[in-house]
Structure 1
Amino acid sequence: MAQAQQKPHYTQYVMNQYILNPALTGIENYTDVKLSHRRQWSGLRDAPVTTYFTIHGALNKKDYRTTATSFQVDGTNPRGNDYWQDYTAAEPHHGIGMQVINDQTGPLRNFSAYATYAYHMGIGARTSLSFGAGAGLFNVSLDANKLNFGNTQVDPAVYNNGTVNVIRPDFMAGLYLYGPDYFLGASVQQLMGQSVYFSGARIADGNKLTPHIFATAGYRFLLSDDLNLIPSVMAKFVDPLPVQFDINAKLQYQDFLWGGIGYRKDDGWNAMAGVNISRTFNISYSYDYTTSALNTVSNGSHEIVLGVLLGNKYGDWCPRNIW
């Protein structure tokens, strides 16, 4: 754990980039709520299981129907060419939000909770820039009952305790540039890079909470008035590991259905699908097929995301800026 990836994988990052980047706080016209559950490497004992809850919304945002918010109008397609021609940059506004994440891998449990803030402003007629930050607590717990030490001598502080807990403050920050056709984002999590010790001995460097840097980018191709193709990429930098890339393509039919495929470097392929049930609820699912050596013991990874749009007074069926 001292020099390894500690933040969870998110196959459906494009559906909730807020989980990676606090600069998306308050980016839409409504309060965006997401609940997600991911079971990685299903069939493998003590494999990672991740659950998160996020909520964020804008303060005093003034995007009205005349600025082409994604609402359904009788006889028109809310995702057709006219919609994007009328797109305008965001009015200056603030956003606030909260993230709660629980990640369990074998005897280790990482629980974190953050409050986030972002400021959005237009820097061109159709281009907006936001910057955000988050502050919270990171709790690492070790269940010694799940450890098998054999005949090895270990620190009594670990061996004699059922569960050892360590709590640390944590910070994140990010930038997000977006318009009608593209987005570019960069963020860093576990900004402080602290060390975690499970006993008072403080041997070597302990288990370091390594900073994680995320970069995302995507572009929208309007194939027809009914179909949008949105390829995207996420790069993850965790020193000293090699850079990891996720590449995805999402095909969206109006504001109703979408499907996609993706590839994670040195890990595997994935398939995704989702539906906007109404202007209040949406749901999506993804399956990862592992191509690494783990495929001999893994049945793949499953991830589900449930979305709720609160205070959706403009009747948005689909995110305008997150996609």
Structure 2
Amino acid sequence: MNKFILFFFFILITKISAQETLPIYADYLSDNTYLLHPAAAGIGSCGKLRVTARQQWVGVKDAPSLQTASFHAKFNENSKGAYGLILFNDKNGYHSQKGLQGTYAYHLDMGNENLFKQLSFGLSMSMVQNEVNQEDFKGDPMVEQIRISDFYFNADFGMAYHYKGFSSYLTIKNIMLSAKNDLNPDFESLNLRNYILGAGYFFGDKNKLQFEPSVMFQYKDITGEKIADLNFKAYKQFDTTQLWAALSYRRSFDSSAFGDANYVTPIVGLNYQNLMFAYTYTQQTGDIVYSNGGFHQISFGMNVLCRKRRASACPNINGSF
């Protein structure tokens, strides 16, 4: 009976996490803010195509993996409206989900040619295929060997404010989504809303070094869990190339599921003309460690449909050379 209770608890918690649509990692630090914040769609001087591939717990069978492809841009050079599209494939052992997310964003320009000042709003709608495959759970009479597949819809809403080198985002994720429990349909649905607040500041001498410290804070309704990211990026610019590196520290607090967790994530990146490449490695630290294997991610991007820059701003705004 204890084994069954543990298994039930594991399934419930894992499904809750998986049904939150796109998992939140350190992708946003690789010039991929749109994966996290719908208000970032079309916010910069270029349209952005980004592809990522992530593998967690290397050496562990059926470990979590995630692949994403995204694109976002303004409708035209003078438009205040923008659009975005994300395709993703998220797999975690017996559970997987494939999704399509579309975004509309509106950018209110409050500056001029010499001053970047902008207020932005974004709304994303998602359609996700959710699949649970328990056919490999053999030899345990308490676990039914079945495959369940269904669809669900979700929405995220966000706001952003930029002023010169300052950037800030507020996003509410999963505003339409409640967790379902396939093992017990009478179980009360759970609110999966996640509040995300982020801010950063970009400064320095472009002929020497430039820096961008930033923070991000998450609050999850269902567990009361609080997650904080402390980030620091450094940039070195050349004629057609920019080298950059980042270090991120993530700490979770008050997690009722698995306790507090700590993650250290170094990132290295290269921007060449309109191309971007980044490698991300994450190592979990602290008293509770799920696996000794690290988390690896590769990101590739291309900036297209670039327009004339208006004024100095953070790299997420002026991201091409």
Pairwise TM-score range, normalised by the shorter structure: 0.7 to 0.9
Higher relative contact order (CA 8 A, sep 6+): 1
Q: State whether structure 2 residue 8 is matched by structure 1 residue 21.
A: no
Which residue of structure 2 aligns with residue 132 of structure 1? Answer: 122
Q: Distance in 2 between matches of 1:193 and 1:31?
A: 29
Q: 1:248, CA displacement in angstroms?
A: 1.1
Deviations 1:186-243 (A, max 9, x none): 11222113233437x614136x471222211101121563311101111122121420
Q: Which amino acid aligns with 1:278?
A: Q
Deviations 1:65-87 (A, max 9, x none): xxxxxxxxxxxxxxxxxxxxxxx
SS of residue matched to 1:259 = strand
**CA separation in 2, counterparts of 1:10 and 1:264?**
10
Matched-pair contact (CA < 8 Å) for 2:85–2:100: yes
Percent of aligned positions with the same letter in both sequences?
Answer: 23
Residue type of the partner of 1:301?
F
Residue 244 of structure 1 is matched in structure 2 by 227
In 1, the alpha carbon distance for the partners of 2:307 and 2:81 equals 18
Relative to 1, partners in 2 of residues 1:298 and 1:322: Cα closer, same or farther, differing over 3 Å?
farther
1:115-141 residue CA offsets vs partner (Å, 9 max, x unmatched) = 100000123453100001011212210
List aligned pairs for 1:47-66, cutoff 5 A.
47-62=63-78
Corresponding residue for residue 219 of structure 1: 201
Task: Evaluate the alpha carbon distance shift between residue 256 and residue 297 of structure 1 in structure 2; reply closer, same or farther with a 3 A threshold.
Answer: same
1:166, 1:196 within 8 Å by CA — same for their partners in 2? no
Give the conservation status (yes or no) of the 8 Å contact 1:166–1:198: no
- State the shift of 1:180 in Å: 2.0
Partner residue of 2:301? 307
Following the alignment from structure 1 to structure 2, what is the Cα–Cα distance between the partners of residues 272 and 216? 19
Quote the Cα distance in structure 1 between the aligned partners of 2:145 and 2:298. 38
**Could you tell me how far apart the structure 2 residues matched to 1:145 and 1:321 are?**
47
Matching residue of 1:210: 192
Q: Which runs of 5+ in 2 are unaligned?
A: 1-10, 252-260
How many residues of Structure 1 are paired with residues of Structure 2 in the alignment?
Answer: 284
Spell out the pairing of 1:100-119 with structure 2 (5 A cutoff). Answer: 100-119=87-106
Unpaired segments of 5 or more residues in structure 1?
63-91
1:60 partner SS: coil
User: Which of 85, 99, 114 is the aligned partner of 1:98?
Assistant: 85
Tell me which amino acid in the other structure corresponds to 1:244.
I
Structure 2 counterpart of 1:246, one-letter code: D
2:151 is matched with which residue: 167, 183, 188? 167
Cα-Cα RMSD: 2.6
Q: Specify the code of the residue in structure 2 equivalent to 1:189.
A: K
| 1:296–1:187 CA distance, 2 compared to 1 (3 A) | closer
| Residue matched to 1:286 | 280
Change (3 A) 1:305 1:268: same
TM-score w.r.t. structure 2 length?
Answer: 0.80
| 1:41 shift after superposition | 2.1
1:146 aligns with 2:139: no
Amino acid at match of 2:230: I
CA 1:24 to 1:237, structure 2 compared with 1: closer, same or farther past 3 Å? same
Shift of 1:288: 1.0
Q: Distance in 2 between matches of 1:136 and 1:296?
A: 30
Structure 1 segments (4+ residues) deviating >4 Å: 1-4, 293-296, 313-316
For residue 123 of structure 1, what is the aligned residue in structure 2?
110
Shift of 1:311: 2.5
Whether contact under 8 Å (2:153, 2:177) holds in the other structure is no
CA separation of 1:313 and 1:23: change in aligned 2, threshold 3 A: closer
Of residues 4, 25, 34 in structure 2, which corresponds to 1:10? Answer: 25
CA offset at residue 259 of structure 1? 0.8
Q: Which amino acid aligns with 1:284?
A: A
What one-letter code is carried by the residue in structure 2 that aligns with 1:119?
Answer: Y
**Contact 1:49 1:105 (C-alpha < 8 Å) held by counterparts:** yes
